[in-house]
């Protein structure tokens, strides 16, 4: 069996996108891992499947490269808007709205949530400053922008061994659904960010991570909205004020399309 797919990326965070609005497509964790495998599959950070929706223009489902299904993906949202032209997307993290502005795509990810059980954390803690530390990384903020994030601000981003500390924090028992780990440095109100993504590891950019980090920077007056967030793959502009949805603007690129050989992947 063969199935049409699109390969897209948002600032180097890459996706295999399958449009299953007319023809259903069943995903198992094993199939998601096989498609995402860069040696034997197509290769991607996340597999995205588009389905019909009753509450929005379409439903977007997201699988990390480890095969786990998750709630939200900021960079994929911009790609899906570019690909399909829709303006509202149902996701497990909420309704996402956006618009293709031409060179860039703008997306609203809804209002962030700061309750310990909304992140979620394993037990009550002050999400403005978790009383926790991992080596030199300490007291992160925790929040949900549809998916769970912690944000650390540091003086020297390059000195942080993300490959070592990222997976340790991701799997800490304090985070029952695991967590996306953002480490950022702020200079003159501009944010530089590296993200260890839950279920995908270090990526060139993370859209929800950029939103979570900009919100954390605005809350602590390290930066003012709109915030420029620069990641290894490029930059996003993030706007937010307390009580409002977070909005993100940036690029999205269609790379190629082709046919998946599903039998070869099993
Ligand atoms: N790359 C994404 C986030 C993808 C999901 C994330 N790894 C999770 O497990 O929540 C983005 O651009 O936001």
Instruction: Kindly report the average pLDDT of the chain as a whole number.
Output: 97
Whole-model pTM: value is 0.98
Secondary structure class of 231 (helix, strand, coil): strand
The ligand 1 atom nearest the CA atom of 10: 12
Does the active-site annotation cover 206? Answer: yes
Does the active-site annotation cover 73? Answer: yes
By most ligand atoms within 8 Å of CB, the mutation choice from 16, 46, 236, 251 for ligand 1 is 46
Inter-residue contact 69 to 47 (CB < 8 Å): no
pLDDT of the residue at 126: 98
CATH fold group of domain 2-103+252-265 = Diaminopimelate Epimerase; Chain A, domain 1 (3.10.310)
Cα 160 → chain centroid? 21
Mean pLDDT computed over 78-95:
97
pLDDT in tens, 87-114: 999 999 999 999 999 999 999 999 999 9
Name the superfamily (CATH) of residues 133-244: Diaminopimelate Epimerase; Chain A, domain 1 (3.10.310.10)
Spans of all domains in the chain: 2-103+252-265, 133-244
- 197 CB less than 6 Å from ligand 1? yes
The label of the residue with tokens 């070869």 reads 264
Distance 74 CA to ligand 1 centre (A): 7
Whether ipTM tops 0.90, in short, is yes
pLDDT in tens, 19-65: 999 999 999 999 999 999 999 999 999 999 999 999 999 999 999 99
Instruction: Give 90-95's long-range contacts (Cβ < 8 A, gap of 24+).
Output: 90/53, 90/55, 90/56, 90/58, 90/59, 90/60, 91/59, 91/60, 91/61, 91/62, 91/146, 92/61, 92/62, 92/146, 93/144, 93/145, 93/146, 93/147, 94/146, 95/55, 95/56
Mean pLDDT computed over 176-199:
98
Same fold, 2-103+252-265 and 133-244: yes
């Amino acid at each position: 069996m063969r199935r049409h797919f699109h390969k897209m990326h948002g600032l180097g965070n890459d996706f295999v996108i399958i449009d299953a609005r007319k023809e259903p497509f069943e995903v198992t964790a094993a199939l998601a891992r096989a498609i995402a495998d860069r040696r034997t599959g197509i290769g991607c950070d996340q597999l995205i499947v588009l389905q019909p929706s009753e509450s929005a223009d379409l439903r977007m489902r997201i699988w990390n490269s480890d095969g786990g299904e998750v709630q939200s993906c900021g960079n994929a949202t911009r790609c899906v808007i570019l690909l399909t032209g829709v303006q509202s997307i149902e996701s497990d993290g909420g309704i996402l709205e956006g618009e293709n502005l031409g060179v860039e795509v703008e997306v609203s990810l809804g209002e962030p949530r700061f309750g310990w059980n909304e992140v979620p954390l394993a037990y009550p803690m002050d999400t403005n400053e978790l009383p926790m530390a991992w080596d030199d990384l300490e007291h992160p903020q925790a929040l949900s922008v549809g998916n769970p994030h912690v944000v650390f601000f540091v003086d020297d981003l390059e000195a942080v061994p993300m490959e070592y500390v990222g997976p340790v924090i991701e799997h800490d028992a304090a985070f029952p659904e695991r967590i996306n780990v953002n480490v950022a440095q702020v200079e003159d109100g501009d944010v530089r960010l590296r993200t260890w993504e839950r279920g995908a590891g270090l990526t060139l950019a993370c859209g929800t991570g950029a939103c979570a980090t900009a919100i954390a920077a605005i809350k602590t007056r390290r930066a003012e909205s709109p915030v420029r967030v620069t990641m290894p793959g490029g930059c996003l502009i993030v706007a937010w004020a307390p009580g409002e949805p977070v909005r993100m603007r940036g690029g999205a690129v269609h790379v190629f399309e082709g046919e998946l050989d599903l039998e070869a992947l099993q």
